Amino acid sequence: MKRAITPSTVERTMRDDDFIVSKTSPKGIITYCNPVFVEFSGYTEEELLGVQHNIIRHPDIPRAAFALVWDTIAAGKEMFAYVKNLSKDGGFYWVFAHITPDVDIHGHITGYTSVRRCPRRQAVDTIATVYAQMLAAEAQAGPRQAIAAGTQVLTELLDAREMRYEELVFSL
């Protein structure tokens, strides 16, 4: 069960040589996390193992962003994403995540791995604006239409820039 945490404005910044790593089951249950994950999340390893990865979900990230992540990795593809995460004490930290599927010898997905590094500040500033627009559209659309509404904002932005999602991410 997820506890309600009130987000604060306290930011933790990743160091240039940090890697925040976690592994999950196919459903997103945390099966591994490294010491830097423990440090930034503010939870103990015992609190993290066996729980849904949304334990560090920050409300500023639109639902459509996670829908895109899951659609991509469940299709067996890698995914790059800027994510704002929520620490146990309400603080937050931005990461640049690379999420990949783990597969067995038959090609079946056995879980996922995420390796996160320090994002560039300018990239965070830009993507935060995009996420805010997506979030506003999701709030206006209501829960049932939220993902479609958030996705539409992102699609229109990409169309206007004539870019694919990956191109946007790596142009920031």
Ligand X SMILES: Cc1cc2nc3c(=O)[nH]c(=O)nc-3n(C[C@H](O)[C@H](O)[C@H](O)COP(=O)(O)O)c2cc1C
Please give the size of the binding site for ligand X, defined by CB under 6 A: 14
Q: Residue 170 corresponds to which amino acid?
A: F
Distance of CA 152 to the CA centre of its chain: 19
Burial-class residue 167 by CB neighbours within 10 Å (0-12, 13-18, 19+).
exposed
Q: Which is nearer to ligand X, 69 or 153 (CB)?
A: 69
Q: Would you count residue 85 as binding ligand X (CB under 6 A)?
A: yes
* Binding pattern for the stretch 32-71 against ligand X, x by CB under 6 A and - elsewhere: ---------------------xx-xx--------x-----
Q: Binder to ligand X among 33, 112, 118, 150 (CB under 6 A)?
A: 112
Burial-class residue 104 by CB neighbours within 10 Å (0-12, 13-18, 19+).
exposed
List of residues contacting ligand X (CB under 6 A): 22, 24, 28, 53-54, 56-57, 66, 83, 85, 99, 112-114
